[in-house]
Amino acid sequence: MSDHLTGAGRARALDELSSPQGVIAGAAIDHRDSLQAALAKRGLELDAAGITALKLRVAAALAPAATMVLLDAEYAVAQALAAGVVPGNTGLAVPLEGMGYGDVSRLEVTGFLEGWSPAKARQLGASGAKLLLPFRVDAPEQAERQQAVVREAVAGCRAAGLALILEPIVYKREGESRAGGDRFEELVVEGARRLAGLEPDLLKLQYPGSAEGCGRLDAVCGRLIPWVLLGGGADATVLEGQIEDACRAGASGFIVGRTLFDAALVEDESASERALHEQCRPLLERLATTAERLAQPWRERVGALPQPASGWYR
């Protein structure tokens, strides 16, 4: 275990992403390729300016009800901060990975966004950085390469003073009807076990399929690595049940994306605004209330942190 996990800098970064109670209710608005695919399915075509405008509408509606938001460097983060749509008391995290994954079953290694870095995210006022990581322990050669990527991200975030949010994804391989097939829970749990050993600051994890699976996830994350549930595109009602299971098992909250703002992906901007305020934000508020009631605050998980000795800075 490194000193970083019990350090004051890490604690401050996680506090900035959490509620005063230490619970995370995150809104992920960092979608790029997947957002374009979702819009295309609805017959909507937006250029870069249109995507930025959409993201700013979503952020303006959801950020005040979230403890943190994820915003991408390509379309949204600088624009959202300049427009003032992210309140000062809402934490900010920015993804590190580039776009254009294509067929992840054939992915050799995750690439970082060109021209971007944890240091640049910190300069914009971010408290965290996220790394999306297609990862399966049953693909050992790829897993080894991906673990090297994680180590690089861990080092970069620590140097920049950011909390690393690691998001491993068990993906569908050729011949499988669904990701992981019958081994999905095992792959999610064992992936979390392996990656927790690399000491990210927070794990953002898939629902393993059951409340019992959430308990196993909690156990493998260990005392010093808090975890949150990702949305994975689940229906809102299903997602609420999943968040309940995860938080009862020990999760410190959630970071959810498209489920929160799916209703706002319509062509008419006024209709999009209405959906954001009448459907999307109330959904986020309900999920946040559930998490505050049931989640394990990250500081309770980690326990009392050691106090620096007098004159530690000398």
Give the model confidence (pLDDT) of 199-229 as tens digits. Answer: 999 999 999 999 999 999 999 999 999 999 9
d(CA 24, CA 15): 9
pLDDT tens column, 239-268: 999 999 999 999 999 999 999 999 988 888
Residue pair 30/71 in contact (Cβ under 8 Å)? The answer is yes
Is residue 99's pLDDT more than 80?
no
Instruction: Say which CATH class 3-300 falls into.
Output: alpha beta
pLDDT tens column, 126-166: 999 999 999 999 999 999 999 999 999 999 999 999 999 99
pLDDT of residue 174: 84
The strand ranges marked E within the chain are 24-29, 68-71, 91-95, 128-134, 163-169, 202-205, 227-230, 253-256
Mean confidence (pLDDT) of the chain: 92
For 154-192, give the DSSP string.
HHHHHHHT-EEEEEEE--PPTT-SSTTGGGHHHHHHHHH
